[in-house]
Amino acid sequence: MMRVRMTAAAVAVVLVLFLSAGGRSSVNATITCPSHNTSTTADALECPSGSTCCDNGCCPSSHAVCCHDGKHCCAHGYHCAGSRCEADDVEQHPYMPWMPLYNLCRGPLPTQRLKNVVDDTDFVYFSDNGDIERPDRSGIRMAVIVVHGAARNADEYFCSMLEAAALQSHYPRNSVAVFAPWFMEPQDNPPDGVVYWSGADENGVWRSGQESEPSATKTGATTSSYAILDRMLKALNSTHTYPKLQQVTLVGHSSGGQTVQRYALTQHALHLGSGLARAFRYVVANPSSYCYLDPRRWIDGDLVIPTEEQLNNCDNYNMWEWGLDGAFPLYVANGRPVDTLKQAYAHQHVVYLLGGNDTCNEDLEPGCQSHGLEKTCMDMFEGRFRLERGQLYFKFVQAFFKRPVHNISVVPNVGHDHTLAFQSTQGLAAIFEPGDDVLGAAGGGLKQAANVTLAVLASAVVVAILVGIYRNLKRKSALMPSSLLGPHGGSGGGGGGGGGGTNNSSNTLHSALASVSQHTGSGAIMSSSRYRQLKDSDDDHDEHDAGSQPYTVSSIRQPFVDRDD
């Protein structure tokens, strides 16, 4: 019915690559699954290093079970059961007796180098369109940059997003480009001439925009992880290189989600240049923490500044990267003023994508697996677990800006799992759904101002027409003989004509004015957005959307652990 195929041959390939590099891993840290045709290797699969080789693709989990349909797989400890995965032993999985099926992904998984990011040192990334600055395909209409988590498994994120690009229906597959930056650390054995970051923080110093290691360059020069994203997004904004590109989405999960949220807040907007070439979107998926815009936090349901007693010596709770009180990396310190960053953040097109089952905190419920939930006092001021932290932060930005901003979508039945989150109905919509009504910080304000101006002009024209009709009807009724007027002063014919004529015109005018008022208020542009609220309800036709009960604040359910962050 099903089978596991993590072969010794695949392991041997990795070992050969390792030894041939003199103990340093190859840049493309993937595995090659053996061909099923003994006479050729043409159909050999290239899979991420932490994946399981199935007959027709790569399962994004080690020691996984491949389903007979050739399209799906289940994590270790589960088996394929129709449209979902069921636990082999329910007692071993009391919180998650079943889970959505994984979709298989398929390579190739080629790497590229972003040249000379600092001095003559390069940066490594995965790409299905060659060099991002000199692409293989110029007819790209949509581009995705996906940022890995703390495990730095860029190959897995890349393969997962390739499959997501195949699943989405908004753009032809060959018009979508996928890129995955790889923020290496010393334990990744980066080759000579490649920039990397300190491994001092197990969750990645690169997530907060820190500088790369001076030892990576001959001169000791460094660059910020955010400057790398600037360079990649600037390349995508070139109308000469990408003449048909309409949409760019920067998405990250877990530590990658932290990277994207803080970058969306502090980015230098260099990629926007002087024009509005693209619509830019930032999808923040399941991070452990967010950067707040002021010292307030949600305490007992109220948004307040913590008291000294509540702080309990957690004096750094609002320092970078949890807030904006200081201790900034060079990229942020040398950027725009903090007040400017705050106001610009309202105009960024941000979607907070949250797993409905990302609710584990081992300190609150021993035995569950949070998969690296950060629990410092700074983190705990933001909420008990990732789902709650995301919901509270979204609530915070509404309160801070005093108007609707950004968007939120909860993926039911999914925990801390980038593959299931990205490939869910909600994830595909957040990442791929077209929508250019909200642009980046540099362009959003201009376009919003233009839209408001057009709306006001259109409203003025409508009002002028309606007022003219009203006056014309009133003048005509004043000239009519009283015998032709109905008993209510209306101009309706027949025996009564009640409520017609002038009175109806007056009512129509007042209704129209009320309608115009609604569409020209301070929230008009935001309320007209297609992305005001992404679909977050169950969908009987989607394999990722059926199952466990909805999340409630009073319940803490263990998420499925995908064993990579």
Q: What are phi and psi of 233, to 5 degrees?
A: -70, -35
Lowest mean pLDDT, pick from 116-130, 339-353, 546-560: 546-560
For residue 547, pLDDT beyond 90: no
For residue 563, pLDDT beyond 90: no
Instruction: Please give the share of the chain, as a percent, with pLDDT higher than 70.
Output: 69
Of 483, 522, 565, nearest to 152 (Cα)?
A: 565
Q: Apex CA 229: angle with CA 227 and CA 232, to 5°?
A: 115
Q: What are phi and psi of 157, to 5 degrees?
A: -65, -40
**Tens-digit pLDDT profile for residues 299-324:** 999 999 999 999 999 999 999 999 99
Residue 505: the pLDDT is 34
Residue 404: the pLDDT is 98
350-355 and 407-411: which strand pairing?
Answer: parallel
Lowest mean pLDDT, pick from 95-109, 223-237, 488-502: 488-502
For residue 558, pLDDT beyond 90: no
Q: How far apart are the C-alpha atoms of 279 and 274, rounded to whole Å?
A: 14
Alpha carbon 46 to its chain centroid, in Å, reads 26
For residue 220, pLDDT beyond 60: yes
- Measured CA distances, 44 to 34, 40, 155, 480 (Å): 5, 9, 17, 88
Model confidence at 368, pLDDT cuts 50, 70, 90, reads confident
Model confidence at 369, pLDDT cuts 50, 70, 90, reads confident
For residue 444, pLDDT beyond 80: no
Q: How far apart are the C-alpha atoms of 127 and 177, rounded to whole Å?
A: 8
Best-predicted range by mean pLDDT (13-17, 369-373, 400-404, 464-468): 400-404
Alpha carbon 129 to its chain centroid, in Å, reads 21
For residue 561, pLDDT beyond 50: no
Comparing 355 with 529, the larger pLDDT belongs to 355
Model confidence at 93, pLDDT cuts 50, 70, 90, reads confident
Please compute the mean of the pLDDT values over residues 472-500 and round it to a whole number: 39
Residue 32: the pLDDT is 85
Hey, what are 263's tokens? 């970058």
Residue 44: the pLDDT is 73
For CA atoms 545, 547, 550, 551, the dihedral sign is negative
Residue 17: the pLDDT is 36
CB neighbours of 215 closer than 8 A, spacing ≥ 6?
Answer: none
Lowest mean pLDDT, pick from 199-208, 344-353, 422-431, 464-473: 464-473
Q: Is residue 282 within 8 Å of 252, Cβ to Cβ? A: no
For residue 548, pLDDT beyond 80: no
Residue 351: the pLDDT is 98
Here the contacts of 533-536 (C-beta below 8 Å, separation 24 or greater) are 533/407, 533/408, 533/409, 534/351, 534/407, 534/408, 534/409, 534/426, 534/429, 534/430, 535/409, 535/425, 535/426, 535/429, 536/408, 536/409, 536/410, 536/411, 536/412, 536/426
Model confidence at 271, pLDDT cuts 50, 70, 90, reads low
For CA atoms 207, 203, 220, 127, the dihedral sign is negative
Model confidence at 272, pLDDT cuts 50, 70, 90, reads low
Please compute the mean of the pLDDT values over residues 228-238 and round it to a whole number: 94
What is the average pLDDT value for the chain, to the nearest integer?
78
Residue 94: the pLDDT is 80
Lowest mean pLDDT, pick from 311-320, 363-372, 475-484, 546-555: 546-555
Residue 333: the pLDDT is 98
Lowest mean pLDDT, pick from 166-175, 452-461, 500-509: 500-509
The pTM score is 0.75
Please compute the mean of the pLDDT values over residues 510-529 and round it to a whole number: 30
- Measured CA distances, 515 to 454, 459, 462, 509, 512 (Å): 16, 10, 11, 10, 5
Model confidence at 359, pLDDT cuts 50, 70, 90, reads very high
**Tens-digit pLDDT profile for residues 380-397:** 999 999 999 999 999 999
Residue 228: the pLDDT is 98
Comparing 462 with 491, the larger pLDDT belongs to 462
Hey, what are 204's tokens? 């990645």
Residue 464: the pLDDT is 54
Of 339, 388, 419, nearest to 64 (Cα)?
A: 419
Residue 466: the pLDDT is 58
Residue 335: the pLDDT is 96
Residue 531: the pLDDT is 28
Amino acid at 330: L
Please compute the mean of the pLDDT values over residues 244-269 and round it to a whole number: 96
- Measured CA distances, 226 to 12, 206, 231, 346 (Å): 36, 8, 9, 20
In 329-388 the beta strands, taken as DSSP E runs, fall at 350-355
Residue 45: the pLDDT is 84
Please compute the mean of the pLDDT values over residues 352-367 and round it to a whole number: 94
Of 407, 412, 414, 364, nearest to 384 (Cα)?
A: 364
Comparing 531 with 277, the larger pLDDT belongs to 277
**Tens-digit pLDDT profile for residues 400-421:** 999 999 999 999 999 999 999 9
111-118 and 121-127: which strand pairing?
Answer: antiparallel
Q: What is the three-class DSSP state of 272?
A: helix
Q: Is residue 404 within 8 Å of 309, Cβ to Cβ? A: no
For residue 565, pLDDT beyond 80: no
Model confidence at 19, pLDDT cuts 50, 70, 90, reads very low
Exposed (0-12), middle (13-18) or buried (19+): which is 522, by Cβ within 10 Å? exposed
Q: What are phi and psi of 114, to 5 degrees?
A: -80, 110
Q: Any idea what DSSP says for residue 482? A: G
Comparing 115 with 50, the larger pLDDT belongs to 115
